[in-house]
Amino acid sequence: MTEKYCYDKAPWDYNPDLTKKCLLAIAGVIQKKTRECQQERLDFSKGDSHYSYGHVARAWRIAGLKELILSGEYPSLRLLKEKGNGFEFACGTAGLKFYSASPEEMTSSMMKLSSYECGQYSLKLEGGAGEELYWRIMIDAAPISHDLLSISYVGFNIHNEVVCNYQVPLEQVPVIYSIDKTVKEAKKLSDAPFQKKTTTRKSEVI
C-alpha cells in the first residue's frame, strides 16, 4: 500500500454519497455478523480451522449486508455483484468491496478495479476535474481469537495511492438487531460449498 497522503479527511469529504450514517450502519452489520459467526459457528473441536472460519465469516457478513441493502432503509445502497469473492455493492456512486486484512496489508490485487469502477473512471474522464477515489472496507481481526480489531474505509486513486484511510469508531456504530432470516441465509451461503450434490435417475421417478 502506497502512503503519501495525510489521512485527515473522512470518506464523505471526498464523496458526499458516502454519508457517515450509512457507513456506520454498514460497519455495524459487519461487526455484528463477525461476532455472531465467532460465537455460533467457530468450533475447533468439530474440525474448524482458521482458514475455514475465514470463508464462513465472509458468508455471514455478505448475508448481513444483503439484508441491510434489501431492507430499503438506506436507499443509496444497492447490490452490484452477489457471489463469492466478487461480492460488491454501491453506496450512491461509490462501489464497495470488503476484505479481511488491515489497511497496511492491502495489496494491489485488492485494488483491482471492478467493471463498475472502470465505468465510473470513464465517466470521471468525461466529466473533467477532480480525482476519483475507489473504496475498500478493510476488516482486521486477531489472528488466533478472531476478535474484531478494526473496520476501515480505504480510498485510493487510479495509481493505487491511498488517499483516505478512515478507521470507524466502533463505539459509534448503531445497534443492529438479530434477524433469524439473516442467520439462515448466512448458514446457507457458508454451507453451500460443502454440500454434496445428489441426482435422481429418471428410472427412480414413479
Would you kindly state where each structural domain of the chain is located, as residue ranges? 2-191
The sign one gets for the Cα dihedral 56, 58, 60, 62 is negative
pLDDT at residue 191, rounded to an integer: 52
Q: In a structure prediction context, what are the per-residue pLDDT tens digits for the chain, which is 206 residues long?
A: 545 555 789 999 999 999 999 999 999 999 999 888 877 766 666 666 666 777 888 889 999 999 999 999 999 999 999 876 689 999 999 999 999 999 999 999 999 999 999 988 777 665 444 568 999 999 999 887 788 999 999 999 999 999 999 999 988 887 654 444 444 555 455 554 434 334 444 333 33
* Its pTM surpasses 0.75: yes
How far apart are alpha carbons 37 and 32 in whole angstroms? Answer: 9
The DSSP symbol for 193 reads G
> Is-contact 97 87, C-beta < 8 A?
yes
How far apart are alpha carbons 93 and 120 in whole angstroms? Answer: 8
Please give the grid coordinates belonging to residue 51.
Answer: 482458514
pLDDT at residue 49, rounded to an integer: 66
How far apart are alpha carbons 63 and 21 in whole angstroms? Answer: 20
Tell me the one-letter amino acid at 14. Y
If we measure between CA atoms, which residue out of 128, 126, 121, 63 comes closest to residue 93?
121
